[in-house]
Chains A and B, each alone.
Chain A
Amino acid sequence: MAEKMLVSGNEAVALAAFDCGVLRGTGYPGTPSSEILDEFSKLGGTAEWAPNEKVALEVAIGVAFARGRSLVTMKHVGLNVAADPLFTIAYCGTPGGLVIISADDPGMASSQNEQDNRRYAIAAGIPMLEPADSQQCYDFLCRAFTLSEQYRCPVLFRLTTRVCHSQCVIERRRNAAPAPAVKYEKDVKANVMIPAFARIAHHKLRAKLADIAAMNDSGDLVFETAGNTDLGIIATGISAMHAREAAPEASLLQIGLTYPLPMGRIRAFAAKVKRCFVIEEGDPVLADACRAAGIAVESKDEMFRFGELNVGRVRRMLNHDLSPEPVRPAGKPPQLCVGCPHRRTYEVLRDNQCIVAGDIGCYTLGVLPPFEAVDTCVCMGASITTGLGLRHALPEAEARRVVSVIGDSTFLHTGINGIVEMVYNRPATGHVVIILDNSITAMTGMQENPSTGRKLDHTPAPKVVIEDVVKAIGVDHVDICDPTLDREGFETILKQRLASNDLSVIIARRCCLIAAAKVRSYETAAKEEK
Chain B
Amino acid sequence: MEKVINVTAAGLGGQGVLKITDILAEMLFEAGYDVKKSEVHGMSQRGGSVSSEVRFGKQVFSPMVPEGESDYLVVLDETQVEVNRYKLRDGGVLIAPADVPVDQLANKKALNILLLGALSRHFDFPEEQWLAHIHRHLPAKLHADNDAAFRLGRA
Contacts and interface: CB of A to CB of B under 8 A. Distances in A.
A165 B44 contact: no
Interface of A: 6, 31-32, 109-110, 133, 161-162, 165-169, 238, 241-242, 244-245, 310-312, 326, 328-338, 362, 365, 442-446, 514
13 contacts: A6-B29, A165-B40, A166-B37, A168-B36, A241-B63, A244-B62, A310-B64, A329-B83, A334-B43, A334-B45, A335-B46, A338-B47, A365-B43
Interface centre among B61, B63, B64 (most CB of A within 10 A): B63
Interface in B63-109: 63-64, 66-67, 79-80, 82-83, 86
Contacts of B41: 31, 165
B45 A365 contact: yes
Interface string B1-14: 00000000000110
B67 A312 contact: yes
A422 to B, nearest CB: 29
Nearest to A4: B29
Nearest to A334: B48
Given A334-B45, A335-B45, A442-B44, A312 B66 contact: yes
A332 B29 contact: no
Contacts of A165: 38-41
A-B residue pairs, 8 tightest by C-beta: A331-B49, A110-B42, A334-B48, A166-B63, A334-B45, A311-B66, A167-B37, A245-B61
A362 B38 CA distance: 23
A169 B29 contact: yes
Nearest to A166: B63
B35 interface: yes
Main DSSP-derived SS at the A contact region: loop
B127 interface: no
B48 A333 contact: yes
B48 A335 contact: yes
Contacts of A333: 48-49
A443 B43 contact: yes
Contacts of A6: 25-26, 29, 35, 37
Contacts of A161: 40, 42
Contact of A167 (B13, B25, B43, B45): B25
Contacts of A335: 45-48
A161 B41 CA distance: 9
Contacts of B67: 310, 312, 326
B65 to A, nearest CB: 9
Contacts of B145: none
A167 B36 contact: yes
Greatest chain B CB density within 10 A among A161, A162, A334 is at: A334
Contacts of B25: 6, 167
Contacts of B47: 332, 334-335, 337-338
Contacts of A443: 43-45
A311 B62 contact: yes
Nearest to B45: A334
B62 A242 contact: yes
A242 B45 contact: no
A326 to B, nearest CB: 8
B61 A241 contact: yes
Contact of B44 (A162, A168, A169, A514): A514
Contact of B61 (A244, A312, A329, A336): A244
Contacts of B12: 332
A334 to B, nearest CB: 3
A162 B63 contact: yes
Contacts of A337: 45-47
Contacts of A338: 46-47
A338 B12 CA distance: 14
A166 B35 CA distance: 10
Most buried by A among B34, B36, B64: B64
Given A332-B48, A362-B44, 18 more contacts: A31-B41, A31-B42, A161-B40, A165-B41, A166-B37, A167-B35, A167-B63, A169-B29, A169-B35, A238-B63, A311-B64, A329-B82, A329-B83, A332-B79, A333-B49, A335-B47, A362-B43, A445-B44
Contacts of B86: 326, 328-329
Nearest to B48: A334
Nearest to A9: B63
